[in-house]
Structure 1
Amino acid sequence: MSTSQENQGRFARRTVIAVGATGLAAAALAACGGGSEGQGGTDASEPAGKGDGADGGAPLAATADIPEGGGVVFADEGVVVTQPKAGEFKAFSSKCTHQGCAVRGVADGVITCPCHDSTFDAATGGATGGPATLPLPEKRIRVEGGSITLA
C-alpha cells in the first residue's frame, strides 16, 4: 500500500470517527436538554410541581405562616415571602444578588444573606447593606382566601 493510500485510509477512518462522535454527542445533548412546551419538559424558571397559580397550583403558604415584619424563605421554590405590614405580602427571589447564595433570615423588615452579610429591605427587596448592590428580583404571588400562591 502506498503512502498516499495509507493517508487516505487514515483520513477516512478519522472522518468516520469524528462524524460518529458528533452524532453521539448530539444524541446525548438531545436526551439531556431541557424540554420546551409541547415536549413534556419543565421550564427551568419554574420549579417542577408548582403551577402558575392559574391552574390551581398548590399554595406556597398560608398567610398566617408569614410573620408581620418578617418572612419565610422557601428554598425549594427559590422565593422569600415577606409581610412588611399587616396584610401586605411581597415575594422576591431568595438568591442574593451578590454571589448567588440563598438568603436565610427575615426579621425586623430585613432579609439577610448569610454568606457575606448582605441585607435587603423586606418591603422592596432593595439592597440595604453588605456587598450586594442590586435588589432581589420581585416574584409574582397571588393572595386569596388566606393562601399565598406563586403567580
Structure 2
Amino acid sequence: MNGPRTTRRTAMLAGAAGLAAAGLAGCGSEDGGSGEGGGGGEELAPTSDIPVGGGKILSDQQLVVTQPAEGEFVAFSAICTHQGCAVSQVDEDGILCTCHGSRFALRDGAVLEGPATEPLPEEPITVEGDTVLRG
C-alpha cells in the first residue's frame, strides 16, 4: 500500500471536523455579526402582548415568555418540571402550574413554591423591533 493509511479513527475525526466547520459557518449573519438583528427566528409575539411584571403562555410553542422588567424578555418551557403539566397562569407572582400548585419566578424560572424542585428550562429568544422571536 502506497501513501498515507486511512484508519477508521482518522476518517471519524475528519468527518467531525467537517461537521464542526459547517456548523460554525452557519452561526454568523451575513454582516459578520452573531445573528442578532438578522432575522430568521420564528415570530412568537409582539412585545406589546407581554406585560411588564407578567408574561404570556404560548401553548402551541409550549413556551412562556415573560417581561420581569421593562424591556427585559425571557422565555421558558411551559411544561412544569414536577409532572409534565402545562403551566396555566402568569402574573406578578410568577408562572403557575395549577396541576399541583408549583410556582416559578418570572426572571429565571426558579422554583418559588413546590412541589416542583427543578426550575423551568430557559429557552432562547431574541427581540427585533417590537417582535419576540424564537432563538
Same fold (TM over 0.5): yes
Q: Which residue number corresponds to residue 60 of structure 1? A: 44
Counterpart residue type for residue 117 of structure 2: T
Counterpart residue type for residue 71 of structure 2: G
* Identity percentage of aligned residues: 53
Bigger relative contact order, structure 1 or 2, given CA contacts below 8 A and separation 6+?
Answer: 2
Q: CA deviation at 1:121?
A: 0.3
Moved beyond 6 Å, runs of 4+ = none
TM-score in terms of structure 2 length: 0.70
- Structure 1: gaps spanning 5 or more residues: 1-52
Counterpart residue type for residue 101 of structure 1: C
Q: Which residue number corresponds to residue 115 of structure 1? A: 99
Aligned partners of 1:133, 1:66: CA distance in 2, in Å? 26
Aligned partners of 2:127, 2:38: CA distance in 1, in Å? 12
Aligned partners of 2:98, 2:86: CA distance in 1, in Å? 8
Give per-residue Cα distances to partners, 1:15-55, cap 9 Å, x unaligned: xxxxxxxxxxxxxxxxxxxxxxxxxxxxxxxxxxxxxx976
Structure richer in strand, relative to its length: 2
Q: Which SS does the other structure have where 1:60 is aligned?
A: strand
Q: Is the 8 A contact 2:46 2:131 kept in 1?
A: yes
Say whether residues 1:70 and 2:34 are aligned partners. no
Q: Which residue number corresponds to residue 110 of structure 2? A: 126
Task: Give the number of equivalent residue pairs.
Answer: 99
Counterpart residue type for residue 85 of structure 2: C
Aligned partners of 2:108, 2:78: CA distance in 1, in Å? 13
Please show how residues 1-150 of structure 1 align to structure 2 within 5 Å: 56-150=40-134
Q: Is the 8 A contact 1:109 1:123 kept in 2?
A: no
Structure with greater Cα Rg:
1
Q: CA deviation at 1:59?
A: 1.1
RMSD of aligned Cα (Å): 1.5
